[in-house]
Amino acid sequence: MCRQNGKKAMRADPETGDPKEIYQYSYQHASGVCYLYVNNTEKETLDEEIEFKLQGLEIEGKPDQTSLEFKVGPG
């Protein structure tokens, strides 16, 4: 559902700003927001941190945090 109905955004290299074949799909629904990352590269790994401004919400399984760090390797 996230891939079909979500907004697609290409991720850029943090040092050069060049676009990569790594995509973030975001889909807002009645219970929250979903993110899906798709890495179409052969060698690149996305290392990203997302900071959320939360009011009346929490990150599932991490109620005291406002950010998430993750890596997405080649698919």
pLDDT tens digits for 7-63? 999 998 878 888 899 999 999 988 888 899 999 999 999 988 989 888 888 888 888
The amino acid occupying position 10 is M
Q: How many distinct structural domains can be found in the chain?
A: 1
Phi then psi for residue 7, to 5 deg, are -85, 135
Domain that holds residue 16: 2-72
For CA atoms 21, 8, 65, 61, the dihedral sign is: negative
What does 11-22 look like in DSSP terms, one character per residue? EE-TTT--EEEE
User: Whole-model pTM above 0.85?
Assistant: no
